Structure 1
Amino acid sequence: MEQGLIHIYCGDGKGKTSAAIGLAVRAAGSGLKVLFTRFLKNESSGELAILDDISQIKVLHLEKSYGFFKNLSEEKKQEVRETYLRLWRAIELEILTGRYDVLVIDEFMAAYRYDLIPKEEAIEFLEKKPKELEIVLTGRNPDEKLVELADYVSEIKKVKHPFDQGIYARKGIEY
């Protein structure tokens, strides 16, 4: 690609990660190399097994799953911060290799909001990204700075969701 753009998939509806995965698969199917990463997600999500099988996609796996950040003890929150700072550094190093056409960072907004990645560095990374690199960021409530930097902002709005009736996430459907 001559010009890579920045996408944000945000909102309170189901489908942000699915949209990002769809773009990653489309890109890989077109011969583009994809780096897929994520914050604050469980390693047992069904999509990871399939993404790992696609030669054009490299997944940076999480060292450990932690659950909802806001529910963690201060000690666990510090462990999460250290883990995600290492992941952020790994993303930066991978992108510096120049091997990738597309970067997907799932739940970027939460990592940014909870200071799990250095905010100033994240903004600088997006501002100075390689010209050809397409970047996809997902999550709720993007910071206004991020919205300004993005070329696409797609909001997925919840109209109705089974969780409202007490039906919890189901393997193969929500994760």
Structure 2
Amino acid sequence: MELGLIHIYCGDGKGKTTASMGLGIRALGRNKKVLLTQFLKDNDTGELISIEKLGENFQVLKGVPVRKFFKFMTPEEQNQTKLEHEERFRKVTQKAIDENFDLLIMDEIIASTNLNLIDLEEVVEFLKNKPKGLEVVLTGRNPNEKLIELADYVSEIKAIKHPYEKGITSRIGIEK
């Protein structure tokens, strides 16, 4: 890509991951190479099943599945998650550079920085020094002001109403 920009999809509403995946599909449709990783997720989502069918130009770097909320993890589990997230951040960003990807999607990296699982300053340094042609998408709630300042696009998805409020849990093919 000639000029790669930085996107943030944030907010308390449903659709941040969906928006980033949509951009990935759009890029793939134009013969762009897409690389995705998802932090704080369990690797059991419909989008990952679909992506596996798209071919080698849309790759996923999966991490160790996270099966419970961070606040419910033991200190040992939290530390293991931190180590894995730090290592994967470095691995996925290096892979994006070394293999000349056009689009890098880091789903829930904002939550990972907010929980100090990935050092915010390391993310900021990557974004400041990324290859000129690499488009980068960050998702999650409550992005740090430093990330907002670096971003070219910041889209907030606001929850007005959600089925969870009625006790309806995530459904296969819609939220999962």
Per the normalisation by structure 1, the TM-score is 0.96
SS at 2:87's partner residue? Answer: helix
Provide the residue aligned with 1:36 in structure 2: 36
Output the aligned Cα RMSD: 1.0
In structure 1, the partner of 2:116 is 115
Q: Following TM superposition, where does structure 1 have runs of at least 4 consecutive aligned residues deviating by more than 3 angstroms?
A: none
Provide the identity percentage: 49
Structure 1 letter corresponding to 2:18: S
CA distance in 2 between counterparts of 1:90 and 1:52 reads 20
Shift of 1:139: 0.4
TM-score (structure 2 length as normaliser): 0.96
CA-CA distance at 1:87 after TM superposition: 0.9
Report if aligned partners of 2:41, 2:65 keep a CA contact under 8 Å in 1.
Answer: no
Q: Match for 2:2: what amino acid?
A: E
Residue-by-residue CA offset, 1:81-100 (whole Å, 9 max, x unaligned): 11112211211220231420
Q: Does the 8 Å CA contact 2:10/2:155 hold for their aligned counterparts?
A: yes
One-letter code of the match for 1:85?
E
User: In the alignment, what sits opposite 2:49?
Assistant: 49
Q: Does 1:145 align with 2:146?
A: yes
The runs of 5 or more residues in structure 2 that have no matched partner are none
Post-superposition offset of 1:173: 0.6
CA deviations over 1:32-77 (Å, ceiling 9, x no partner): 0000111001111111011122121010012232321122111110
- Equivalent residue pairs, number: 175
Contact residue 10 and residue 16 of structure 1 kept, 8 A: yes
Determine the structure 1 residue equivalent to 2:158: 157
Q: Does 1:22 align with 2:22?
A: yes
Unpaired segments ≥5 residues, structure 1: none
Distance in 2 (CA, whole Å) between partners of 1:156 and 1:63 is 27
